[in-house]
Amino acid sequence: MRSIITNAQRRSFMKIVGVGAVVAASSAFAARGKKTTSSVTVELSEEQKDTLFFIFQEEKVARDVYITLGKIYTEESTFANIQISEQEHILFAQVLCERYGIDTTGVNLSLDDNYIGQFELLSMQELYNQCIELGQVSLLEALKVGRLIEITDIDDLEKAAEGMPLDVVNTYSNLKEGSLNHLDAFEKAIARES
């Protein structure tokens, strides 16, 4: 018999696991990435590096929006379920940044309330603020914000993969598959709420 995990339990789990999981998973992903890379280092242009950092921040926006909206709409499990997956997306994007020499140390990935909704890129800060403002209107609008985030993320991942090395393309392809699953979950929740 499966036990049902409540949204509060998910949030508690995220707080308990928090930084330790981020560090452990990031280290594991980084180590795995080093084993699979060849001795030839691919040099990325500054524009490509900016793109990697942008995707990294965009994944944080998704996670932080879902955490914040999940606290507002505690009975809606979609936000709690997907925020856990978005944490993994952040880690995958962070590994790529680290692999290609992009400094992410200024980005605090803590699940502490003081760092949720805080971004280095002004465009990401504005996006987060707009998503929360729209999502506070109603549960239905919050779910539509989730749908919009996933549609945008899918489009951005497709564009970001163009001209990138194979490891980046593969990672972005995996992130896109996750976002397609998230989009499906939001579509179902919207249909249920409409």
The pLDDT assigned to 9 comes to 39
What is the dotted CATH code of the domain comprising 7-33+55-193?
A: 1.20.1260.10
Candidates 5, 18, 62, 36; CA nearest to 178 is: 62
Q: Decide if 152 contacts 62 (C-beta within 8 A).
A: no
Q: Decide if 128 contacts 61 (C-beta within 8 A).
A: yes
Candidates 188, 174, 187, 182; CA nearest to 66 is: 182
4-18, 28-42, 79-93 — which is least confidently predicted?
4-18
Confidence band for 107, pLDDT divided at 50, 70 and 90: confident
Q: How many other C-beta atoms can be found within 10 angstroms of the C-beta atom of residue 192?
A: 11
Candidates 183, 177, 118; CA nearest to 147 is: 183
* CA 67-15-113 angle, 5° bins: 55
Residue 68 C-alpha from the chain's centroid: 13
Question: pTM to 2 decimals?
Answer: 0.78
Say how many Å lie between the first and final Cα of the chain, rounded: 31
Is residue 137 predicted with pLDDT exceeding 90?
yes
Sign of CA dihedral 153, 164, 177, 9: negative
Q: Decide if 127 contacts 61 (C-beta within 8 A).
A: yes
For the stretch 41-80, pLDDT in tens is 688 999 999 999 999 999 999 999 999 999 999 999 999 9
Q: How many other C-beta atoms can be found within 10 angstroms of the C-beta atom of residue 73?
A: 19
Residue 106 is given by DSSP the state T
Q: Scanning the structure block, which residue is given the tokens 């509060």?
A: 8
Please give the average per-residue pLDDT across 85-90, as a whole number: 92
Q: Decide if 175 contacts 59 (C-beta within 8 A).
A: yes
For the stretch 139-176, pLDDT in tens is 999 999 999 999 999 999 999 999 999 999 999 999 99
Q: Which residues contact 4 (CB under 8 A, 6 or more apart)?
A: none
Is residue 39 predicted with pLDDT exceeding 70?
no
Amino acid at 49: K
Confidence band for 112, pLDDT divided at 50, 70 and 90: confident
Q: How many other C-beta atoms can be found within 10 angstroms of the C-beta atom of residue 150?
A: 23
| Most confidently modeled range among 2-16, 113-127, 128-142 | 128-142
Of 140 and 36, the structure prediction assigns the larger pLDDT to 140
